A = this chain, B = another copy of it.
Amino acid sequence: MENLLSFVKNNYEVYVNELADYLRIPSISTLAENKKDMQLCAKFTAEKLKKAGLNRVEIFQTEGHPIVYGEWLGAPGKPTILVYGHYDVQPVDPIDLWDIPPFEPTVKDGKIYARGATDDKGQLYVHIKSVEAYFKQKGSLPLNIKFLIEGEEEIGSKNLEPFINNHKELLKCDTVLISDTSLYAPGVPTITYGLRGLCFLEVEMTGPNRDLHSGSYGGSVANPVNVLADLISKLHDKNGKINIPGFYNDVVKLMPAERENIKKLKFSDKNYAKELGVSELTGEKGFSTLERIWARPTLDVNGIFGGFTGKGAKTIIPSSATAKVSMRLVPNQDPKKISKLVTSHIKKIAPKSVKVKVTDLHGAYPVLTPLNHKATISAKIAMEKAFGKKIVFMREGGSIPVVATFAKLLKVPSVMMGLGLNSENLHSPNEHFSLKHFQLGIISSILFIDEFSK
């Protein structure tokens, strides 16, 4: 194992140069003009998987961009890891704000700058290189490995779920390994074990059959904007709790040990508020900020519109008003069940003076990987050894739908071995990736393979 780790250190510069080649391909999944680059990038990925030592590598075309699959199943009876990642990247706008051309990777101060550096090419490449190093040094792996690398993560992964559903046997595994999240702080090994889910509704209120003159009619009929505001206001109680009967029924409570862990992170409300430009943080009473973001459901209006929205004054009673209302869900809330519950509650409390239409636009399941699962424990041991520090277990307030899909279709937990940083400008100009984390990531991945094979 020592030889293997020093092999990685010795080859580190080669790996960085290869990663730079990967980053040079402008694989922007959302732009039609980059369709060819997507094919090129899938091919590049496949070649690197072959070079790493996998003996079956295949590019699956989809209705959108291709999915790259690779496997080495030379360890019968041993566990199987499925590495998931994505080779597509975000667009580069606003291009003016980049200090370097986004597809001309540049190393500076121990970081590699380019679109896709941290999200997700750099993090994904970690695992390709760990497998390659393993093969080169040991001739074989102590377990079976599969790779599933898609090109549509940034545009909703719409061809991935059907692919997984149609290839359950091919993708069969004991755990999914994903590096597409963040470290809690630079140099701090981190495993993300929980994700929130989502229930996204659109609520439309209709009052009079046309916009009315607010002078000639004001006082006679319900104003749908006022009614909608009233309704939104009623969705929280004065303690910041969501005020919908039954909403919390399936919420898994935070365990005392978890709360203790979170407390130890010494999260600074003050710095956080300062960074966001607000004078105070707020939310559900009785929970700390991290607890509220990671482990408690929330309800936010994501957008609202109705009536006159131009400059100046127009004196109308609008005919209708619409709010986009979404809830972040936590284990074990079911987005479909919540959608029904909230829809019927809204219809129940809305006054007769308006018509209400609720449309379910989107849902995602929350995820919680058990901390005592063998994959989690192996990842903890591997990362602590690589980073030389105690692991931080964190949750993430957002949703990564594919993790819920793996749980649902493959019935396995995912290990989210995030190696990026939230400050690395993913989705923004000057995206970058710490090369220290790149190297520690490869070592973590090697140690994880070793540990999980036992």
Contacts and interface: CB of A to CB of B under 8 A. Distances in A.
Interface of A: 196, 198, 200, 207-209, 212-223, 225-226, 228-230, 232-234, 236, 272-273, 276-284, 289, 292-293, 296, 298-310, 312-318, 321-324, 326, 328, 351-354, 361-362, 396-399, 422
B293 A218 contact: yes
A299 B221 CA distance: 12
Given A208-B278, A278-B353, A315-B302, A226 B232 contact: yes
A289 B324 contact: no
Contacts of A362: 312-313
A324 B305 CA distance: 11
19 contacts: A196-B218, A200-B315, A215-B328, A215-B398, A219-B284, A221-B282, A221-B283, A222-B282, A226-B232, A229-B233, A302-B313, A302-B314, A302-B318, A303-B310, A304-B305, A304-B307, A305-B309, A307-B324, A308-B324
A298 B399 contact: no
Contacts of A216: 293, 396-398, 422
> Which of A198, A213, A309, A422 has the most B CB atoms < 10 Å from its CB?
A309
Q: How many copies does the complex hold?
A: 2
Contact of A220 (B292, B351, B352, B399): B292
Contact of A298 (B218, B233, B351): B218
> Which of A219, A228, A272, A398 has the most B CB atoms < 10 Å from its CB?
A219
A37 to B, nearest CB: 26
Contact of A302 (B207, B236, B289, B317): B317
B302 A272 contact: no
B219 A397 contact: yes
List of 4 A-B pairs having minimum Cβ-Cβ separation, nearest first: A215-B398, A209-B277, A219-B292, A303-B307
B292 A302 contact: no
A289 B312 CA distance: 29
A268 to B, nearest CB: 12
A422 to B, nearest CB: 8
A199 to B, nearest CB: 10
Given A301-B229, A302-B313, A305-B305, A353 B282 contact: yes
A353 B280 contact: yes
A315 B326 contact: yes
A425 to B, nearest CB: 14
Nearest to A301: B225
A18 B5 CA distance: 102
A43 to B, nearest CB: 33
A398 B213 contact: yes
A352 B397 contact: no
Contact of A225 (B226, B304, B361): B304
> Which of A276, A361, A362 has the most B CB atoms < 10 Å from its CB?
A276
A221 B321 contact: no
A309 B353 CA distance: 24
Nearest to A212: B276
A317 B293 contact: no
B302 A316 contact: yes
Contacts of A318: 301-303
Contact of A351 (B200, B225, B282, B292): B282
A218 B361 contact: no
B298 A219 contact: yes
A219 B241 CA distance: 10
A304 B304 contact: yes
A222 B280 CA distance: 9
A234 B232 CA distance: 12
Contacts of A214: 298, 300, 302, 326, 328
Contact of A276 (B198, B209, B321, B397): B209
B223 A301 contact: yes
Contacts of A305: 304-306, 309
A158 to B, nearest CB: 13
A361 B313 contact: yes
Nearest to A289: B220
A225 B228 CA distance: 11
A316 B427 CA distance: 15
